[in-house]
Structure 1
Amino acid sequence: MAQDDRARSRAARDEPDGDRGRRGNPALTSRAAILAVVVCAIALSLAYPVREYIAQRKEIADLQHKESVARRQVDELAQRKQQLGDKSYIEREATRRLHYCRPDVKCYTVLGGGGEGEQEARKGRPPSKPPWYETLWRSVEAADRPR
């Protein structure tokens, strides 16, 4: 019986390409074509929702980042508000920035010295920015020079 099956398969292989050859090894069947169309339809129907999902996830991440930045700013402002409510801090700042002096404290003001430029000159560095009139005069001199 096994020999009969072998003989038939040899005979089928030896037959010229007829009806049997086309049915045995088709390149594209109608089932495969329908399957391909269904797969493409599913892929196309899922493409837009997936794209929207990804865009929404990115937007959520951006909003969470902005929220964390805003929370940090609120915390800093709350801390600053508390600091400005402290009387000793206000007195220190008034003394440092506005040169206010309490009646029971002796304050001194040094005239003609102690500025940033003088401190930098003492360290051996030139002042960071010359006065405006010096810059203006240098530009006038540079424009006057012949080329």
Structure 2
Amino acid sequence: MAPIVLFDGYSKFQDGNYYANCSCVLIKGPPNVVIDTMTAWDGERILEALQKHSLTCDDINYVVCTHGHSDHIGCNYLFKKAIHIVGHAVSFRDKYFSDHNFANGEEYIISDNIKVISTPGHTLQDVSVIVQSNMGITAITGDLFEKI
């Protein structure tokens, strides 16, 4: 159940333009979790990456976006059967769950080995995913470190 990096993120200034995209991470369970779904132009890449791991979008139980920037939420639309956690918001379809309070330090428990916690970041509602596996404890932190 160790995290699998499907795509490395990047942030760079080149030819007078700024380019950025987030890392996209898979936790193959159950439960199956995708963390940060890149830009809206990356859908085919994500589909192909999941297929290499014998998964489809319908197999994903949770989508966690470490914050709401466009390079982290762009392909959420692919995962129609999953619970979505975007920053501090937890939703399924048009239902937003109000019984969870990240702001008070409350952890969102996905499974015995996967939890989502509020963490400092470059928005006011960043979250990180903590995974415990046979490789130890891993934190998926989104844009914890960013360069311009």
TM-score past 0.5 threshold: no
Larger Rg over CA atoms: 1
TM norm structure 2: 0.18
The higher relative CO (CA closer than 8 Å, separation ≥ 6) is in 2
In terms of fraction of residues, the more helix-rich structure is 1
TM norm structure 1: 0.18
